[in-house]
Amino acid sequence: MAEERHPTRTQFPASAETQKPHLKKAPEFPILEKQNWLIHLHYIRKDYEACKAIIKQQLQETQGLCEYAIYVQALIFRLEGNIQESLELFQTCAVLSPQCADNLKQVARSLFLLGKHKAATEVYNEAAKLNQKDWEIYHNLGVCYIYLKQFNKAQDQLHHALQLNRHDLTYIMLGKIHLLVGDLDKAMEIYKKAVEFSPENTELLTTLGLLYLQVGIYQKAFEHLGNALTYDPINYKAILAAGSMMQTHGDFDVALTKYRVVASAVPESPPLWNNIGMCFFGKKKYVAAISCLKRANYLAPFDWKILYNLGLVHLTMQQYASAFHFLSAAINFQPKMGELYMLLAVALTNLEDTENAKRAYDKAVCLDKYNPLINLNYAVLLYNQGEKRDALTQYQEMEKKVNLLKDSSSLEYDSEMVEMAQKLGAALQVGEALVWTKSVKDPKSKQRTTSTSKASGFQQPLGSNQALGQAMSSAAAYSKLPSVGKERSQMKNLS
Amino acid sequence: MAAAPPSDFNGGKVESSEAGSKWLDAHYDPLASIHTFSACLALADLHGDGEYKLVVGDLGPGGQQPRLKVLKGPRVLTESPLSELPAAAVTFLKDHHEPRTPALALASGPCVYVYKNLRPYFKFSLPPLPVNPLEEDLWDQAKEDRIDPLTLKEMLEGIREKAEVPLSVQSLRFLQLELSEMEAFVNQHKSKAIKRQTVITTMTTLKKNLADEDAVSCLVLGTENRELLVLDPEAFTTLATMKLPSVPAFLEVSGQFDVEFRLAAACRNGNVYILRRDSKCPKYCIELSAQPVGLVRVHKVLVVGSNQDSLHGFTHKGKRLWTVQMPAAILTMNLLEQHSRGLQAVMAGLANGEVRIYQDKTLLNVIRTPDAVTSLCFGRFGREDNTLIMTTRGGGLIIKILKRTAVFVEGGGELGPPPAQATKLSVPRKTRLYVDQTLREREAGTAMHRTFQTDLYLLRLRAARAYVQALESSLSPVSATAREPLKLHAVVQGLGPTFKLTLHLQNTSAARPLLGLLVCFLHNEALYALPRAFFKVPLLVPGLSYPLETFVESLSDKGISDVIKVLVLREGQSAPLLSAHINMPVSEGLAAA
């Protein structure tokens, strides 16, 4: 093997050999894999132009036999979006070395990207026969089954992949399946395990945080979102979710500071501008709030939450005509929400269209089961119209809801709302004893909390029970019911 | 923000472009024409005179003219052409003879060329791979003309399908041939013994039996056929062979060959395999799920750069310790070792023209370069201990010297809130007019609302009326009747005075073809002339769009245009099924004349 080195080595040592009795000298074949390492080095540093040049040269030299050159060419094609071409090249590779699972994997991957999930699963199964220890094959099989909507099979494959080797991606896919099926608890289980396995993965942390937020475990949610932000301070999903939680607690300034980071990273995010708008609303900077919300609305004209918030702010600004338009637009997109009709009714009342206001209240009452505010506002309107009997019915309805809520949860009521209810009760002169006992009890507990977080009477993140795909925007699209502003305006009428 | 100013201050410390930089700019030549990888850079005292030289295995522009260059300071000392592209260059001590000048090893193709005192000294070729005995047998038969080319082809194909040992190039080439070329090919090549040869993909050194700085080292080669070879430094015999599941791209070794060593190999399948002295195959495996672009060992931590723009730290057992995201793609990595302060850190050259220095996951320093750095090397150069050598994508050479007073502080990197937090939000401004309108709405909101509602109702009423009218007189281009579902749209082409009018008529019913339809044009005869103002429509097959063409001649020279009405009628009925109004363009042909 070892030989003394000639000072200058000729390209083809064969030519120096002795004459053979053939007409023509047989040329030496170049080594097929001669420049594979160079192709690979250019490929991994994403220098695709140089890579393609070498591949071309290499393929010419070997007359298309260099498998690795074809392989990388196919990878580059795929990165450039020419999936069909890449598929054909990978198939060529699979012909050149049929025992190689990797080629089959890539064929399947290209099929998958072309949306031929069924065909991809077949090829993956073929590849799994050649290499039974590869988690990637099973993971991708699982993903294919997700797209084929065979969730049970997908779960099996993904669990198999996890047994072979644990990867964050597999956990994410498994979690996604549970979310698609709507099984929040199982999804959270999976994500908890995943976070345990890789505690620095911000995507996992954020998703788990958002899931906690959906279920209403705010402490844990905040913890995970905070962790995500320590590892990646510009993770905008986590910032939006954490910001919306801060808003819930009234920390508008802190939330705004956090949003600045998002604003530079994703300046065209509708939920971001919605949240910023509501921060300004919380700080009573109404003009800025309207500007931001209008930008959000411009970016996402079909998002009813933004329209809802716009309606709310305009009501506060006493721009009832504008509020009416935003609210009716919101109702067009989301016709199943009682609060929207209530706000619309308030706007209509102020526009002196009592007939339609009543109809809106009727609709709201009919859609909503838990919000006593709707009945109270309706009762006030009816009372002002002199329809004492109907007002009384609504008042009693409200009491029912309040009692129901008191039993089930420890929701706090806005002091203004309680005061209003007491006044109305007195004016109606019915069920006085009942009202008083209740209201005496209520304000005590209220005042303690309201002093810490101002006007936190009725705050709830909207749409928190939507699928995870929308979780970001729903956790972010935060809004506030207008308990304060609206009742104040009605109180004038009453007194 | 209280937190903002310190973050700026920190940011300033990391920058190297400012006055407080840790580096002295020793040399920058954008036209040095050095195109290479970190693996092909080596620093060594090649002549034993205390002057450290830089050895560069240069691929040449476009990888066309491979050369071996030796630089003394910024100057090229010697330059010799190479027959093939160099894959790696290392310097190592091969024996105990005095003076202890290191030898230079250059891996290229299937060979390692060893230079001593910059003179060719020895050439090591990889042993040829075993060939498939069946294949060999077949060619032997061919040599004695006992087998015809067609059978040969079939047999070889059978081997390719199943056999463990792949075919030689000769057989593969033969399988590609057409029937007519086979005979000649066999005659030409049959006398030659078939062989399989592999190439070296990567190379590094491993101390033989002492851990000293100037101990004798073995060469460790990674080959294309998924093997690792350890060579004896004096006799150049293979001391050990190890098998890998994939082709190695980067190697990292620690320990001594005779005592105990750990070998990490980053492979093309995206995995990093870790081997020990007594293991013939990998002991641990790190699955990156991305391609590794560099492998560096810092103390006991293996730092792997992946092509997903991140650095990962792993223990020598393959457990992930940390991950750091980079702002751009990593092009190359190497070790920074400052002996005087006992510092070891990782340097990563990024595609955005930065070189970042990390100790574990803390950023120590950022060097900005005018071009993206493609190879890096740190060590003693000339008589200066801490020199950083970088070559750029455009072939430039940058040499920087670390100041003797410079201390890399931990935590000198990015800490605190991101800089974006200090920038103000761009809240859209509202004008005075907006405020005025707001006030007006507050005062007269009810009236505005009422007016709006009234107008809205009127608008709706009008729209509804117009719609009904259109339906009644079949003015719409889509037929509403269930019996003849039709769609029509028209295109006018041309500049005039002659236009081409194309009607696209489509039968939108699911299955029923339409027959017996007529098309009629209504137009102002003073302005336009049509060859046929009335014609029959052929049978309309469902789903297809039928283009019906006709020419329109504009007669007016006053540059005016008019509407042409197209009516689609059923035979025997006077009410049209549908109609379209075509706004004719002004005839430009006449206007220009």
Q: Among B361, B393, B409, which residue terminates a domain?
A: B409
Whether residue B90 is found in the same domain as residue B208 = yes
| Among the partner residues A35, A280, A319, nearest to B85 by beta-carbon distance | A35
Question: Is the CB of B421 less than 8 angstroms away from the CB of A45?
Answer: no
Mutation site for A-interface testing, chosen from B159, B164, B183, B268 by largest number of A Cβ within 10 Å: B268
Beta strand B67-72 with B384-392 is unpaired
| Among the partner residues A1, A33, A38, nearest to B125 by beta-carbon distance | A1
Residue B465: its pLDDT value, please?
93
Residue A470: its pLDDT value, please?
24
Domain containing residue B94: 36-126+198-247
Domain A318-429+464-477 classification at class level: mainly alpha
Taking contacts as CB-CB distances below 8 angstroms, the residues of chain A near B167 are none
Taking contacts as CB-CB distances below 8 angstroms, the residues of chain A near B109 are 31, 34
Residue B170: its pLDDT value, please?
80
Q: Do residues B392 and B371 lie in contact, with contact meaning Cβ atoms separated by under 8 Å?
A: yes
Q: How confident is the model at residue A203 (pLDDT cuts 50, 70, 90)?
A: confident
Q: Do residues A173 and A139 lie in contact, with contact meaning Cβ atoms separated by under 8 Å?
A: yes
Residue B480: its pLDDT value, please?
61
Residue of B nearest to A199 (CA): B322
Residue A7: its pLDDT value, please?
41
Candidates A411, A439, A468; CA nearest to A207 is: A468
In three-state secondary structure terms, A89 is helix
Question: Is the CB of A291 less than 8 angstroms away from the CB of B441?
Answer: no
Whether residue B72 is found in the same domain as residue B118 = yes
Neighbour-count burial of B195, counting CB atoms closer than 10 A to its CB (0-12 exposed, 13-18 middle, 19+ buried): middle
> Which of residues B203 and A102 earns the better pLDDT score?
B203
- Whether the per-residue pLDDT at A407 is higher than 80: the answer is no
Q: How confident is the model at residue A102 (pLDDT cuts 50, 70, 90)?
A: confident
Taking contacts as CB-CB distances below 8 angstroms, the residues of chain B near A29 are 169-170, 173
- Whether the per-residue pLDDT at B299 is higher than 70: the answer is yes
Whether residue B56 is found in the same domain as residue B122 = yes
| Among the partner residues B123, B191, B430, nearest to A291 by beta-carbon distance | B430
Number of continuous H segments (helices) and E segments (strands) in chain B: 7, 36
Residue of A nearest to B2 (CA): A257
Residue A27: its pLDDT value, please?
62
Q: What total number of domains does chain B contain?
A: 4
* Strand ranges of the sheet holding B310-314, from the earlier edge strand across to the other edge: B292-298, B301-306, B310-314, B320-325
pLDDT (tens digit per residue) in B4-54: 333 333 433 444 444 567 888 888 988 888 888 888 899 988 888 888 889
Residue B82: its pLDDT value, please?
86
Beta strand B373-381 with B362-368 is unpaired
Whether residue B506 is found in the same domain as residue B563 = yes
Interface of B with A in 453-472 (CB under 8 A): none
Could you give the ipTM of this predicted complex? 0.73
Residue B258 lies inside a defined structural domain of this protein:
no
Residue B177 lies inside a defined structural domain of this protein:
yes
* Strand ranges of the sheet holding B498-507, from the earlier edge strand across to the other edge: B486-493, B498-507, B545-554, B528-529
Whether residue B211 is found in the same domain as residue B180 = no
pLDDT (tens digit per residue) in B222-281: 998 888 999 988 888 888 888 888 899 999 998 888 888 889 999 988 889 999 888 777
Taking contacts as CB-CB distances below 8 angstroms, the residues of chain A near B198 are 31, 33
Residue B462: its pLDDT value, please?
95
Share of chain B above pLDDT 90, in %: 14
| Among the partner residues B1, B169, B201, nearest to A29 by beta-carbon distance | B169
Residue B445 lies inside a defined structural domain of this protein:
no
User: Which letter does DSSP use for residue B271 in this model?
Assistant: E
Whether the bond between A482 and the residue before it is cis, its omega within 30 degrees of 0, is no
Q: Do residues B129 and B225 lie in contact, with contact meaning Cβ atoms separated by under 8 Å?
A: yes
Residue B494: its pLDDT value, please?
87
Whether residue B113 is found in the same domain as residue B182 = no
Residue A423's CB: how many other CB atoms inside 10 A? 15
DSSP-assigned letters across all residues of B344-405:
EEEEEEETTSEEEEEETTEEEEEEE-SS-EEEEEEEEEBTEEEEEEEEETTS-EEEEEE-TT
Q: Which helix (H) or strand (E) holds A118?
A: helix A117-130
B124 touching A (Cβ < 8 Å):
yes
Q: Do residues A303 and A332 lie in contact, with contact meaning Cβ atoms separated by under 8 Å?
A: no
Mutation site for B-interface testing, chosen from A10, A34, A35, A44 by largest number of B Cβ within 10 Å: A44
Whether residue B493 is found in the same domain as residue B517 = yes
Residue B7 lies inside a defined structural domain of this protein:
no
Residue of A nearest to B161 (CA): A98
Task: Compute the average pLDDT of residues A108-129.
Answer: 89
Residue B518's CB: how many other CB atoms inside 10 A? 17
Candidates B279, B395, B442, B477; CA nearest to B33 is: B395
Question: Is the CB of A31 less than 8 angstroms away from the CB of B423?
Answer: no
Residue B334: its pLDDT value, please?
92
- Whether the per-residue pLDDT at B536 is higher than 70: the answer is yes
Candidates A402, A343, A407, A109; CA nearest to B289 is: A109
pLDDT (tens digit per residue) in A34-93: 888 888 888 988 888 888 888 888 888 877 778 888 889 999 999 888 888 888 888 888
Phi, psi of A201 (to 5 degrees): -80, 110
Q: How far is B590 from chain A (nearest CA, A)?
A: 46
> Which of residues A140 and A477 earns the better pLDDT score?
A140
Inter-chain Cβ pairs, chain A and chain B, closer than 8 A? 188
Question: Hey, what amino acid is at A395?
Answer: Y
Residue B473 lies inside a defined structural domain of this protein:
no
Read off the CATH number of the domain in which B76 is found. Answer: 2.40.128.630
pLDDT (tens digit per residue) in B94-144: 888 777 888 899 998 888 999 888 888 888 888 888 888 888 888 888 888
Task: Compute the average pLDDT of residues A105-110.
Answer: 89
CA-based angle B14:B18:B23, to the nearest 5? 75
Residue A488: its pLDDT value, please?
31
Phi, psi of B570 (to 5 degrees): -95, 145
> Which of residues A1 and A489 earns the better pLDDT score?
A1
- Whether the per-residue pLDDT at A224 is higher than 80: the answer is yes
Taking contacts as CB-CB distances below 8 angstroms, the residues of chain A near B417 are 233, 261
- Whether the per-residue pLDDT at A477 is higher than 80: the answer is no
Interface of B with A in 515-574 (CB under 8 A): none
Residue A104: its pLDDT value, please?
87
For the CA atoms of B424, B429, B435, B436, the dihedral, rounded to the nearest 10 degrees, stands at 160
| Among the partner residues B1, B199, B293, nearest to A257 by beta-carbon distance | B1
> Which of residues B483 and B529 earns the better pLDDT score?
B529
Whether residue B56 is found in the same domain as residue B119 = yes
Residue A485: its pLDDT value, please?
31
Taking contacts as CB-CB distances below 8 angstroms, the residues of chain B near A292 are 427-428
Per DSSP, helices labelled H in A385-470 are 388-408, 415-428, 432-452
Chain length of chain A: 495
- Whether the per-residue pLDDT at A153 is higher than 70: the answer is yes
> Which of residues B176 and B548 earns the better pLDDT score?
B548
B420 touching A (Cβ < 8 Å):
yes
Read off the CATH number of the domain in which B346 is found. Answer: 2.130.10.10
Residue B284: its pLDDT value, please?
86
Q: Among B377, B409, B441, which residue terminates a domain?
A: B409
Residue A16: its pLDDT value, please?
37
Residue B346: its pLDDT value, please?
92
Residue A435 CA to chain centroid, in angstroms? 44
- Whether the per-residue pLDDT at B444 is higher than 50: the answer is yes
Mutation site for B-interface testing, chosen from A37, A68, A102 by largest number of B Cβ within 10 Å: A37
Q: How far is B432 from chain A (nearest CA, A)?
A: 12
Give the list of residues 6+ apart from residue A333 with CB closer than 8 angstroms, or none. Answer: A302, A303, A304, A307
DSSP-assigned letters across all residues of B121-180:
EEEEEPPPBPPPHHHHHHHHHHHTT-S-HHHHHHHHHHHHHH-SSPPPHHHHHHHTS-HH
Read off the CATH number of the domain in which B523 is found. Answer: 2.60.40.10
Interface of B with A in 320-359 (CB under 8 A): 320, 322-323, 325, 329-332, 351
Residue B268 lies inside a defined structural domain of this protein:
no
Residue of A nearest to B109 (CA): A34
- Whether the per-residue pLDDT at A492 is higher than 70: the answer is no
Whether residue B57 is found in the same domain as residue B184 = no
Residue A398: its pLDDT value, please?
83
Q: How far is B446 from chain A (nearest CA, A)?
A: 5
Residue B331 lies inside a defined structural domain of this protein:
yes
Q: What average pLDDT is seen over chain A?
A: 76
Share of chain A above pLDDT 90, in %: 5
Q: How confident is the model at residue B590 (pLDDT cuts 50, 70, 90)?
A: low
Whether residue B67 is found in the same domain as residue B111 = yes
Q: How far is B360 from chain A (nearest CA, A)?
A: 15
B425 touching A (Cβ < 8 Å):
yes
Task: Compute the average pLDDT of residues B137-152.
Answer: 81
In three-state secondary structure terms, A316 is helix
Candidates A289, A291, A288, A323; CA nearest to A307 is: A323
- Joined together, the tokens standing for residue A80 give 């450039």
Residue B46: its pLDDT value, please?
84
B100 touching A (Cβ < 8 Å):
no
Q: How far is A131 from chain B (nearest CA, A)?
A: 12
Phi, psi of A115 (to 5 degrees): 85, 10
Residue B65 lies inside a defined structural domain of this protein:
yes
Residue of B nearest to A95 (CA): B161
The span from the CA of B380 to the CA of B257, in Å, is: 26
Whether residue B377 is found in the same domain as residue B514 = no
pLDDT (tens digit per residue) in B463-482: 999 888 877 776 666 766 66
pLDDT (tens digit per residue) in B403-430: 888 887 765 445 556 666 777 778 878 8
Residue B158: its pLDDT value, please?
81
- Whether the per-residue pLDDT at A17 is higher than 80: the answer is no
The domain limits of chain A are: 318-429+464-477
Residue B493 CA to chain centroid, in angstroms? 45
Q: How confident is the model at residue B159 (pLDDT cuts 50, 70, 90)?
A: confident
Question: Hey, what amino acid is at B520?
Answer: C
| Among the partner residues B37, B224, B438, nearest to A319 by beta-carbon distance | B438
- Whether the per-residue pLDDT at A487 is higher than 70: the answer is no
Q: Which residues pair with B260 in a beta bridge?
A: B256
Question: Is the CB of A318 less than 8 angstroms away from the CB of B125?
Answer: no
Whether residue B302 is found in the same domain as residue B153 = no
Neighbour-count burial of B164, counting CB atoms closer than 10 A to its CB (0-12 exposed, 13-18 middle, 19+ buried): exposed
| Among the partner residues A102, A234, A295, nearest to B269 by beta-carbon distance | A102
Question: Is the CB of A276 less than 8 angstroms away from the CB of B427?
Answer: yes
